[in-house]
Every structure is written in C-alpha cells, then in structure tokens.
Amino acid sequence: MKVFVMSLMLLIVNSSASAMNHGGMLMDEKGMIMNANSDNLPRDCTKISENVDITIHAGQQNALKFTGKMFAFDQQEWNVKPCAKINITFINDDQIRHQLMIHGLPGYLYPEGMFHLELYGEGQLQASLIMPSLKKTYLVHCELPQHMEKGMKAQLKVDGGDGDLPSIPGISRPVRADVYSVDWTELSLAVLLLSVLLGCAILFFIILNATAIKDFSSKIIKKIYVKKM
C-alpha cells in the first residue's frame, strides 16, 4: 500500500512538473518564459557573433517622459549584430502584469515567430535568444490590452534594421496621434471668460496705480531695513 501511495505521489509530481514546462513554455507563480533559445543557431548563422546583455525595465515610471503615455520600457531601441545572442534580464517595476514580446522571428526556431517574457507583478526574469542574420527591425512590446497603445512599445534592430517602426515613443511618429479635446460647456466657458476678465482687470489696476504701488513697496522695504538696523 505504501509503495502504491508513493508511486501515485511521484506520478502527480511528474505530471505537475511537465505541465509547467511544455511547448517551449516555462511557468511559475511569478511569471512565464516562452521560446527561450540559448544554443540553437538560426539556419543563416554559422556561429554566434556576439553576446549582448540587456536589462529592460517595464513600468509606469518610464512613461513620465512621454506626453500622454501610461506605460513604457526604460529604453525604446536596441541594436545588435547579425547572429547575436541576446541575454535579457526583464524587470517589472510595477505591481501589475507586464510582458516583453519580440515578434517576427523565424518560426522554425521560435514557434509562431515569438519570444515572450511575462511577469505577473514586481520581479524579474532572465532568458536568451539568438537573432538571425537578416537586416531587420523587430517589434518589442507588451501585448496586454492598451499597454502597447499607452506606450509600452520598442524596437530591436539587427545590423541597423530596415527602418523605424511607427509609434515608437520618442523615436517615430504615431499612426494615429492621441487627441485630448476639451468638452466645452456653458459653465467652463463662463469660468474661462471670468478668468480672462479678472486677469485684465488686475493688469489694468497695476498699470493705473504703478506709482502708488512703487511708493508703498519702498516704504515697506525701508521699514524692514530700519528694524534690522
């Protein structure tokens, strides 16, 4: 009976372990890695040209330098040699879920042409991939709803890339720029008009009473000076 129970427990453990590592996906309670590749060369590469260590931060703090953006990576562009091995340390500085996805990779090496790192909250992951030799610009982004649209988008260039992708914060123009229109109501128009009139009245008062204001200021300054003496 004891042997049977132990065998059953081993079967459950092995089943759980295999469920956490299948189809190129590694997953635990803090995040997920998909299609990592540290040693398989693309067909157009005879050897690894360079080892590049990249640390990428994801979070709201990085978006403060971009008007109208909510999320961003701390960098928006990387450039590597053809056949480079990239060792990525992905750090999530927020308490919410963020991803780092690279698209357009060869499907025979990276299923669905994708490399994927994901953290469910604050923390970090490390994984590697080897780039093909093709001169190309690859999309790097977070695929969670509105995260890319709100700024979490970058580009990875191999051999200088084949141009800039659209809507990369700080690098290229957006396909469709955000419009922050004002909803004018009778109340908001009245407040605006009152503010303009009040500003003009204050300016007009200062101009008419410039001499008196100057004399009054001089008297105050003299009194302060005499008290200090």
The torsion angles phi and psi of 107, rounded to 5 degrees, stand at -65, -25
Mean pLDDT, rounded, of the chain = 87
User: Where is average pLDDT lowest: 27-31, 55-59, 186-190?
Assistant: 186-190
Whether the pLDDT of residue 16 is over 60: the answer is no
Predicted TM-score of the model (pTM)? 0.69
Strands (E), 60-122: 72-73, 77-80, 85-92, 98-103, 114-119
- Tell which residue, 187, 165, 205, has the closest CA to residue 77: 165
State what percent of residues in the chain have pLDDT above 70.
86
Q: Are strands 85-92 and 123-130 parallel, antiparallel or unpaired?
A: antiparallel
Distance CA 119, CA 142 (A): 11
DSSP state of 153: E
Which one is predicted more confidently, 3 or 145? Answer: 145
> Would you say the C-alpha torsion 90, 93, 96, 102 has a positive or negative sign?
negative
Angle between helices 186-208 and 210-228 (to 10 degrees): 70
Lowest mean pLDDT among 1-15, 29-43, 138-152: 1-15
Give the pLDDT mean for 158-187: 85
Cα separation, 216 vs 196, in Å, equals 27
What is the spatial distance between Cα 148 and Cα 167, in angstroms, rounded to a whole number? 10
